Chains A and B, each alone.
Chain A
Amino acid sequence: MGRHEIRLRRNRMTSRRMERHKNYQDILRQHRQHRRGRIVKILLYMIALLALIFVIYFAMHRVSESKGTEDTRPVTAQIISRPDIDFSLNKKEDGNKKTSATGHLS
């Protein structure tokens, strides 16, 4: 259901009157303008997407680079490598089997 209004009209719309509203060239112009706008929009999206890919690529590259420069030796070896400290590795006897490192200045 909806509401509407019925109007009766005596005169028919004539072709001459309708001709006033006919303008195909204007429609073509609007169509071309719209198409150009769409192409620009697609280009902008593509540029934004490429920029995003580059940012992600360089971010990942930097992360992998920084990982590569980190010392890859085991942690215990890194600690022991200080010559002025006497380190000894002991296994804890309290049952949780964790390894502890204690150091004494020599």
Chain B
Amino acid sequence: MTDEEIREENSLVERAKRNPEAFGKLYDKYFEGIFHFVFRRTDDEDLAGDLTSQTFLKALQNIRKYEFKGLPFSAWLYRIAANEVNKHYYSKKRTRVFSLEEERIMEIFEQNDHQFTQSQIDLLVKSLNELPTETMEVLEMRFFEGKNFREISYILNIGESGAKMRLYRAIDKLRKNFNLNWEE
């Protein structure tokens, strides 16, 4: 998103602060992104639908408190969504889930479908399972959501250097076994 687009979007947000009907455009624009994000972290379609609705409801209720920080509005929505997912896991005391698309995994690890053997898939899942959850969150935001470090640090409420450090450590570990198709 360019700076111009971000500023334009912010004028829409300012309108939505005064008129909830205007928020509908932001809802239409970001619904799928937020749904994908929540679904990747729950692997449950109905739950993802509920948490996505909850995210937008919270956003609508608190939009007056939103302050423009030079980031896309979606960063604020992702932050609310991440909190909603965290709250869900905290209250249900369940093991966190990261449901990742195989197709995207192939792209990241530079493999074609037929080249990726079952043992490699098992090794990959094992490697990702061994990573700390906090690191997995950063990895997922960077590789699957395509967020930059500034957005990741805002969404996960951590320092930018902390986010980078987590990701580089994860990449170092994964590069021991896989050919990772990623450059900063």
Task: Identify the A interface with B (CB < 8 A).
Answer: 1-10, 12-13, 15, 17-18, 20-24, 26-28, 30-32, 34
Contacts and interface: CB of A to CB of B under 8 A. Distances in A.
Given A2-B132, A3-B95, A21 B101 contact: no
A12 to B, nearest CB: 6
Nearest to B127: A6
Contacts, number: 91
Interface in B14-28: 20-21, 24, 27-28
Interface stretch (B29-37, B65-73, B154-162, B167-175): B29-37
B63 to A, nearest CB: 10
A7 B97 contact: yes
Interface in B21-64: 21, 24, 27-28, 31-32, 35-36, 39, 43, 45-46, 48-49, 52-53, 56-57, 60-61
Contact of B96 (A5, A20, A24, A28): A5
8 contacts: A2-B134, A3-B133, A5-B96, A5-B97, A6-B98, A7-B43, A21-B48, A27-B60
Contact of A9 (B24, B31, B99): B99
Interface residues of B, number: 39
A28 B125 CA distance: 41
Given A24-B24, A24-B27, A9 B49 contact: no
Contacts of A18: 31-32, 35
Contacts of A26: 53
A50 B37 CA distance: 48
